[in-house]
Structure 1
Amino acid sequence: MKVLITGAAGQLGVELVQHCIEMGDDVVAADRSDVDITDAAAVDAFLAQHLPDAVINAAAYTAVDACETNVDIAQAVNGTAVGIVSAACEKFGAHLVHVSTDYVFDGTLDRPYLETDETNPQSVYGRTKLAGEIAAGSAASIARTSWVCGEYGDNMVKLILRLAAGDTPLAFVDDQRGHPSFTADLAPALRTLALERRAGTFHLTNGGAVSWFEFVGDILEAAGHQRGRVSPIATADLDPPRPAPRPANSVLDNAAWKAAGKEPLRDFRAPLTELVARLT
């Protein structure tokens, strides 16, 4: 297929571009310098020029805390722009795959979140990402993911590897739980949604629910360090506190993906081991 990938210079976008090329797709990789997705005329002209079969929208304003003060930018990129891209996809016959987030939930459930559970975002980032889901429309594939890590861009794995090289004390929260998700596994799943033009909402994460404290221990262990170098801390004890509230429970049940007959993404420890090996 011919696929347009927005946010192509980002952590997930680079991995998507590489995977789609490896699979033989005709790939149009677009970042902000190629097309401003908040500009409807520019988006229309870009799709008219390239006529993709599918658009995978990996563009987002993901600075969660900065969103609290940059509300207009967050809404423009995470919300309004998705409606613009969706309208252009409908006009030119492309299937839209839009990447969303666990932050659309409030994190208060005592079980993993299903795709059908009620949304209730508590942060500007979460509210604008939910606005994007709504703007994407019923014909699109909405792919919610969480705790994304990969070879490109900044993420928790790279941070811990840098900190582990020194003697900085490590303390991470043990009262926020989720599924780490690795771009090496996420990218192929997103391509499948694009190729099969599967409308609906899908949770796409690697398997294995952990706290941030536990995840950091896993990263340390994968890199040959002692797990004991990290200590647990409560979210309420963070100093200074984070501007944006985080969902305590970010665990997403990938029920719709499994119901579609798809193989669940691997336990996160497998791609974690592979990533650490590439980075060290």
Structure 2
Amino acid sequence: MRILLTGAAGQVGGTLLPLLRERADVVAPSREQFDLSRPDELADRLDSIKPHLIVNPAAYTAVDRAEDERELAFRVNAEAPAAIARWAAPRGVPLVHFSTDYVFDGSGESPWRENSTPGPLSVYGKSKLAGDLAIAEAGSLHVIARTSWVYAASGANFLKTIVRLAGEREQLRIVADQIGAPTSAHAIAQAVVAMLPRNDEELRGMFEARGGVVNLVCAGETSWHGFATAIVSGLQSRGVSFAVKEIVPIRSDEFPVKAKRPANSRLDVTRLRERFGIAPPSWQHALDRELDALKAAI
């Protein structure tokens, strides 16, 4: 089986690459070789690669910059997935795509289900929702894995930012009124690989029987403040020294950003458990693994 994996230089793609290579021949083109900002060129590239499965974690993820780069965000997050799905549908090639909690408006306190009514607050969220809808409309065999607050021990993300700031400042002011589940790239990659049958002949059957949107996040919930506190205390317990002495909880309106974030990013993972038999790790357990990796790299 030949798998096309986009975004192999990113957090989720980079974690998926070695796991998928244990199962199949993986083609992992660079951004220049498979450029999602040029959706009109993707069909030709797909004709050349001839994948039996497409896994697409690549995306435009600069949430605030997207407010000024709407056209680019929509090309990468909406038009490119649409082009991929339109190529895949008539050929019966399954597609694994990744979505986000930002497709919801963040109201209430109940976890969002896969069929909850979306209402994105930002250009980024709107572009991701447009991609989700385009994939479904194309009629391709697909799983859209909706996740949240993605991070890893490598790359640019909240974990790495907190570690850097904690080493530079005595006080950190972190938003405490946005609630969600920090989800490691490793947890996402492990779940995706667990979804895929080892028998190539069963691959299409799995997508036909269990395809659609599935929430894929770690279990439990916390705020960004709680996540930051766990990062710092976790590394301190591993012998890492920081300059920071205080992590202060603040409201979202005390930390103005260009793009509005959802206050409630809780995602219900019942479908993940019932449809795929996958019980995600707690966010604390997943974080421990990343902190161990980060400490080993220091």
Tell me how large the CA RMSD over aligned residues is.
1.8
**1:231 aligned to 2:230?**
no
User: Residue 7 of structure 1 aligns to which amino acid in structure 2?
Assistant: G
Q: CA deviation at 1:45?
A: 2.4
Give how far 1:235 is off.
Answer: 0.6
| Cα distance in 1 between the residues matched to 2:271 and 2:14 | 26
Question: How far apart are residue 38 of structure 1 and its match?
Answer: 4.3
The answer on whether the counterparts of 1:160 and 1:219 sit within 8 Å (CA) in structure 2 is yes
Matched, 1:218 2:235: no
Deviation at 1:121, TM superposition (A): 0.6
Kindly tell me: are residues 129 and 75 of structure 1, through their superposed partners in 2, closer, same or farther at Cα, counting changes over 3 Å? Answer: same
**CA drift at 1:151:** 2.9
Instruction: Name the residue aligned to 2:220.
Output: 208
Q: Which runs of 5+ in 1 are unaligned?
A: none
How many residues align structurally? 277
1:140 maps to 2:152: no
1:65-113 CA-partner distances (Å, limit 9, x unpaired): 0011100001100111110011111243310111000000000022111
What amino acid sits opposite 1:202 in the alignment?
V
Return structure 1 stretches of 4+ with deviation > 6 angstroms: 225-228
Are the counterparts in 1 of residues 64 and 257 from structure 2 also a CA contact under 8 Å? yes
Aligned position for 1:266: 281
What TM-score does the superposition give when structure 2 sets the normalisation length? Answer: 0.88
Aligned partners of 1:214 and 1:38: how far apart in 2?
Answer: 36
Matching residue of 1:16 = 16
Shift of 1:204: 0.1
Q: For the residues of structure 2 that align with 1:44 and 1:32, how far apart are their CA atoms?
A: 15
After TM superposition, the structure 1 = structure 2 runs for residues 155-194 of structure 1, keeping only pairs within 5 Å, are 155-194=157-196
CA distance in 1, matches of 2:39, 2:131: 15
Shift of the 30–191 alpha-carbon distance from structure 1 to 2, 3 Å rule, reads farther
Normalising by structure 1, we get a TM-score of 0.93
TM-aligned CA deviation for residue 14 of structure 1: 0.6
2 CA distance for matches of 1:84 and 1:178? 31
1:97-108 to 2 correspondence within 5 Å? 97-108=96-107
CA distance in 2, matches of 1:128, 1:40: 14
Shift in CA distance, 167/243, structure 1 to aligned 2, threshold 3 Å: closer
Q: What pairs up with 1:235-250 in 2 under 5 angstroms?
A: 235-238=252-255, 241-250=256-265
Gaps of 5+ in 2: 198-205
Give the CA deviation at 1:167. 3.0
Deviations 1:223-257 (A, max 9, x none): 0169962110001112xx11100000001011211
**Higher mean C-alpha displacement, 41-50 vs 245-254:** 41-50
Q: Quote the Cα distance in structure 1 between the aligned partners of 2:121 and 2:175.
A: 19
Q: Which amino acid aligns with 1:6?
A: T
Query: Within 2, Cα distance between the matches of 1:129 and 1:228?
Result: 38
- The structural deviation recorded for 1:162 is 1.5
